[in-house]
């Protein structure tokens, strides 16, 4: 009987874990693949450079986040970065008295219900646009503090690689107001996503179960586009 219970529990857990595949392109050229794994309290992004980009600049990065399922505030995060010869593992967790404590023992006070970029992406999928639109939330970014919000732009069809899907289109604003304790590392994505000249956009399907169908960041003239691969979704 106990064995049957264990099997049932594991089966339910497996059903609750969702995986999605994304293809990253730069100027239309395939640059990387991303696997997103999600459940009700965490998400994990694994990125791997592909093709010519992998030959020039090999990279394999992993980002894992645990959040409060009621308000999507950060509980803890960790990442493993492999970019060429550069290797780093970093983590942070929120203490019971409201401090973010990092692996190097550095601590900062964070506001109640503070989000990160990865909990924001989860919130964009799970929350209604009327609740999200133009509302600022406290934001933490590897030691940097500030605020972030989603601005609803329009609803339009976005191509998924297999079908045209009606999506809510958001602009994603991030403002870092205190970077005095920003952690120092060479993670290209996390360093550049908060640049003041970075334009961030996401497209979220309107039909349930909702997913991020596409995401785009523009750094000056350089567009980086992520699109879901429906035929690879599991």
* CATH numeric code, 18-232: 2.50.20
The neighbour count for residue 172, using CB atoms within 10 Å, is 21
Whether the pTM exceeds 0.75: the reply is yes
pLDDT at 102: 93
| Block mean pLDDT (10 aa), the chain, length 234 | 34 51 94 95 96 91 97 97 93 95 88 96 95 97 96 91 89 96 89 94 94 94 90 51
pLDDT at 106: 85
| pLDDT tens sequence across 19-63 | 899 999 999 899 999 999 999 999 999 999 999 989 888 999 999
Is the bond into 209 cis (omega within 30 degrees of 0)? yes
Partners of 228 in beta bridges: 22
pLDDT at 17: 53
Asked if residue 115 lies in contact with residue 139, where contact means CB atoms within 8 angstroms, the answer is yes
Query: Which DSSP symbol is given to 133?
Result: B
Partners of 132 in beta bridges: none
Would you list the domain boundaries of the chain? 18-232
User: CA torsion sign, 6 to 7 to 13 to 14?
Assistant: positive
């Amino acid at each position: 009987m106990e064995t049957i219970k264990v099997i049932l529990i594991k089966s339910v857990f497996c059903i609750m874990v969702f995986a999605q595949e994304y293809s990253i392109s730069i100027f239309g050229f395939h640059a990387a693949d991303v696997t997103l794994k999600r459940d009700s309290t965490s998400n994990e992004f694994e990125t791997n450079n592909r093709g010519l980009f992998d030959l020039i600049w090999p990279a394999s990065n992993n980002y894992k986040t645990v959040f409060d399922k009621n308000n999507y505030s950060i509980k803890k995060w960790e990442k493993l970065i492999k970019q060429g010869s550069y290797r780093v593992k970093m983590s942070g967790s929120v203490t019971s008295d409201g401090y973010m404590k990092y692996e190097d023992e550095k601590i900062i006070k964070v506001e109640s219900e503070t989000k990160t970029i990865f909990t924001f992406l989860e919130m964009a999928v799970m929350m209604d646009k009327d609740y999200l639109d133009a509302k600022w939330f406290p934001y933490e970014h590897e030691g940097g503090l500030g605020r972030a919000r989603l601005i609803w732009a329009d609803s339009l069809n976005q191509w998924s690689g297999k079908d045209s899907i009606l999506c809510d289109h958001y602009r994603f604003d991030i403002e870092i107001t205190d970077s005095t304790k920003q952690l120092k590392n060479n993670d290209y994505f996390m360093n550049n996503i908060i640049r003041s000249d970075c334009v961030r956009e996401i497209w979220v399907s309107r039909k349930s179960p909702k997913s991020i169908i596409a995401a785009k960041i523009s750094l000056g003239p350089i567009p980086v586009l992520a699109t879901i691969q429906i035929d690879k979704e599991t």
